[in-house]
Amino acid sequence: MRAIRLTRIYDHPREDVWAAIADSQALAAWLMPNDFQPVLGHGFTFRTKPAPGFDGIVHAKVLEIVPPERLVLSWKGGPLDTTVTFDLTALSATRTRLTLVHDGFRGLSNLMPRFFLGLGWRDLTGRKLPDYIARAKSG
Amino acid sequence: MGYVANDQDAFRAIADPNRRKMLDAMMAGEQTVGQLTALLGVRQPTVSQHLRVLRLAGLVGERREGRNCFYSTNPSELAEVAAWLAKYRAFWNDRLDALAVHLKRKESRGV
């Protein structure tokens, strides 16, 4: 399996659910502190507690925004380069189905080159990569 | 070429352009020593030495099948991807619950 797919039904109008996923303050309330703006192409970050192998910063970008239906974000955190899609379907005037798809988890063949490119072959400090490998070994 | 002193020293393992070429090939799929030798156009013992350095650095694993040995980038990496998937699944379940709480709170405030 290379993607996470979750579905929830909320007893709220679609516009209200949209307001909760396409607004910086609302996202901070239920997801993570961020500097999101509902603007196509806007690059921003989510910040959370650092963990081993993860500095706690998710670099994101608005890839698609169709109010009040669909929000697609690029989601880069740790060694991962993924996308997160929120799809909202109005089931009635007061019920909304949210489908969340977190996609782009791939095996080594895709992960490693990106990781190396990100660091740059020349810029490897001799610390980052061994840490990364130690983590992979313990994983 | 020189050996790496420390088996964690992946940085030095990949400092060599031939080893990077080998890694790139192994990322695309399993390789035999013969294939890597053809790729680099160097002598087989040189390839074997490079493989040794990469294996000591934890970057490459080997799989034996009969008399053949196949080399690939380390499969533990795949385990790491699986771990990220599990972590994120738990994360999103938790966050989507938090979204429900957020929506209720907004509603009760009549916002």
Q: For residue range A47-57, what is the model confidence (pLDDT) as tens digits? A: 988 776 678 89
Entry field: residues in chain B: 111
The CA-CA-CA angle for residues B44, B45, B51, to 5°, reads 90
Look at residue B99 and tell me if it is in a domain.
yes
Q: Which of A16-20, B7-11, B54-58, B99-103 has the lowest mean pLDDT?
A: B7-11
B27/A20 touch (CB, cutoff 8 Å), yes or no: no
* A119 vs B14, more confident: B14
CB of A16 within 8 Å of a chain B CB? The answer is yes
How close does chain B come to A42, measured CA to CA in Å? 22
Residue-range domains of chain A with CATH? 4-105 (3.30.530.20), 107-139 (no CATH)
- Residue B91 predicted with pLDDT over 50: yes
- Residue B31 predicted with pLDDT over 90: yes
Is residue A68 a contact partner of residue A18, using CB atoms and an 8 Å limit? yes
The CA-CA-CA angle for residues A111, A114, A116, to 5°, reads 105
| Nearest CB to A100; choose among B59, B96, B102 | B96
Per-residue confidence (pLDDT) for residue B57, from 0 to 100: 74
What residues form DSSP beta bridges with B31?
B71
pLDDT confidence band for A123 (50 / 70 / 90): very low
Q: Does one domain contain both B81 and B100? A: yes
In angstroms, the CA A66 to CA A123 distance is 39
* A93 vs A124, more confident: A93
A124/B14 touch (CB, cutoff 8 Å), yes or no: yes
Q: Does one domain contain both B24 and B45? A: yes
Per-residue confidence (pLDDT) for residue A52, from 0 to 100: 65
Per-residue confidence (pLDDT) for residue B67, from 0 to 100: 87
pLDDT confidence band for A65 (50 / 70 / 90): very high
Nearest alpha-carbon partner for A53 in A106, A2, A115: A115
CB of B12 within 8 Å of a chain A CB? The answer is yes
Tell me A22's DSSP state.
S
Q: Does one domain contain both B100 and B54? A: no
Per-residue confidence (pLDDT) for residue B94, from 0 to 100: 93
> Residue B99: CB partners within 8 Å, gap ≥ 6?
A8, A10, A17, A20, A21, A30, A31, A98
CB of B3 within 8 Å of a chain A CB? The answer is no
Percent of chain B with pLDDT over 70: 77
Look at residue B79 and tell me if it is in a domain.
yes
**CB-count exposure of residue A127 (10 Å: 0-12, 13-18, 19+):** exposed
pLDDT confidence band for A94 (50 / 70 / 90): very high
pLDDT confidence band for A135 (50 / 70 / 90): low
Q: Does one domain contain both B42 and B79? A: no
Tell me which chain B residue has its CA closest to the CA of residue A126. Answer: B11
A16/B103 touch (CB, cutoff 8 Å), yes or no: yes
Rg (CA), chain A: 17
Domains of chain B: total: 2
In angstroms, the CA B10 to CA B58 distance is 7
In angstroms, the CA A82 to CA A63 distance is 12
Per-residue confidence (pLDDT) for residue A61, from 0 to 100: 97
Contacts of B93 in chain A (CB under 8 A): 6
- Residue A113 predicted with pLDDT over 60: no
pLDDT in tens, A25-44: 999 999 999 999 999 999 99
ipTM confidence: 0.73
Nearest alpha-carbon partner for B9 in B19, A110, B80, B18: B19
In angstroms, the CA A42 to CA A37 distance is 7
Contacts of A6 in chain B (CB under 8 A): 89, 92-93, 96
| Nearest CB to B95; choose among A30, A121, A130 | A30
B100/A10 touch (CB, cutoff 8 Å), yes or no: yes
Q: Does one domain contain both B58 and B20? A: yes
Q: Does one domain contain both B70 and B31? A: yes
Nearest alpha-carbon partner for A139 in A24, A12, A54: A54
Q: Does one domain contain both B69 and B79? A: no
The contacts found for B85-94 with CB under 8 angstroms, 24 or more apart, are B85/A1, B85/A2, B85/A4, B85/A105, B88/A4, B88/A102, B89/A4, B89/A6, B92/A4, B92/A6, B92/A100, B92/A102, B93/A6
pLDDT confidence band for A84 (50 / 70 / 90): very high
- Residue B75 predicted with pLDDT over 90: no
Percent of chain A with pLDDT over 90: 59
* Domain carrying residue B98: 75-111
Helix A14-21 × helix B76-108 angle, to 10°: 120
Q: Does one domain contain both B24 and B63? A: yes
Arithmetic mean of pLDDT, B68-81: 72
In angstroms, the CA A137 to CA B70 distance is 20
